[in-house]
Amino acid sequence: MKPTAMYAVAAALTLGVMFMTTESAEAAAKQGVVKSSFGKTTDGVEVDLYTLTNKHGLVAKITNYGAILTELHVPDRTGKLGNVVLGFDNLEGYLKGHPYFGSTVGRVANRIAKGKFTLDGKEYTLAVNNGPNSLHGGLKGFDKQVWKAAITKSADGPSVSFKYHSPDGEEGYPGAVDTTVEYTLTNKNSIKIEYTAKATKDTPINLTNHTYFNLSGSGDVLRYEMQLNADQYTPVDDTLIPTGEIAPVKGTPLDFTFAHPIGEHIKELGGDPNGYDHNFVINGGGKALTFTARAYDPNSGRTVEMSTTEPGVQFYTGNFLDGTITGFGGFTYLIHDAFCLEAQHYPDSINHKNFPTSVLKPGQTYHQHTEYTFSVK
């Protein structure tokens, strides 16, 4: 078969050379942002979908419901585009309930012990929605809100900005918060996510993106090679609340300081369900954009590299996927069919004085910059 009939050279990337198929070449010709209808919420609010295409033909789809990344199409080592995130191709799937597929999570991502914290001498009580704890912003967090969206200009590639006003007292949190999340599908083949937030009162803020990655498009991720730039992690109790200790990963199944298969030591973790769901302390993290993680799928050749300005990352291996959800492409999602790399402050930071503070004060601006960069080898 003639090479010209198969692919045209698209770009030289960080970890290899990526080729463009006829499919991605046609997509590249449509580079930019296209807005379309994604349906209505149960109370009749119109929801939109934004399709971003960069100059290499990569495609990201993002809805203003929950500022959710619904699809992300990147090439494999042969140049064939494929969706590498879990989710749904319709709004109904998200409205029925899901494990935060692709969501923008807030006001506070991860867990707060027993749904309680004390700030400025006052105790606050939140909804308990994960065993005895509060998880990912409560019953109706940022992931279940309809955000205001606008197509924005960026020199890096097609971009869309989402804004949400969280009123004082929403889900039990103090102060009103105005949050902006901007997604850019860069021409360096990254999904760049930038967050800003301002508050009217002292309040905890811990925003993240909860995308579930599957670099082959289906099947479990246990063969993937994972590396984390983290010499330490925060041990947790049996409800996944940190004990307050910051412990070394060396000599434990959590040592990903060198790349090795996700499944190599996973059974040593025990637990039901079994798998990784741990906060790792990023070496040198929390000060500037810092290399955080790299995952490589030997089957497809796809690699994703993550960098963030946050001090921690939650590495999660889809432990609670149980076959009850059918998503994009008709795939039924089973345990370990995806991994998440959630940039964050440490879980339950508001209740641990030795953790980096998650409190945002009036007059301050919360800022986070996280990128996921794709390449092949």
Q: Which residues are catalytic?
A: 210, 342
| Cβ–Cβ < 8 Å for 192, 371 | yes
Q: Which of 168, 205, 208 is nearest to 360 (CA)?
A: 205
Round to whole Å and give the CA distance between 31 and 27.
Answer: 7
The tokens for 167 are 């009123």
In three-state secondary structure terms, 335 is coil
Q: How far apart are CA 153 and CA 21, in angstroms?
A: 27
Whether residue 320 contacts residue 338, with contact meaning beta carbons closer than 8 Å, is answered with no
**């993106």: which residue's tokens?**
209
81 and 188 Cβ atoms separated by less than 8 Å: no
Bridge partners, 191 (sequence order): 185, 372
CB atoms within 10 A of CB 67: 31
Query: Shortest CA distance to 23 belongs to which of 73, 72, 86, 60?
Result: 73
Integer CA distances (angstroms), 219 to 213, 278, 299, 338, 347, in order: 11, 22, 11, 8, 29
Q: Burial, 92: exposed, middle or buried (Cβ in 10 Å; 0-12, 13-18, 19+)?
A: exposed
Q: Could you give the CA distance from residue 136 to residue 154 in angstroms, rounded to a whole number?
A: 30
Contact predicate 31/54, CB 8 Å: yes
CA end-to-end span of the chain: 22
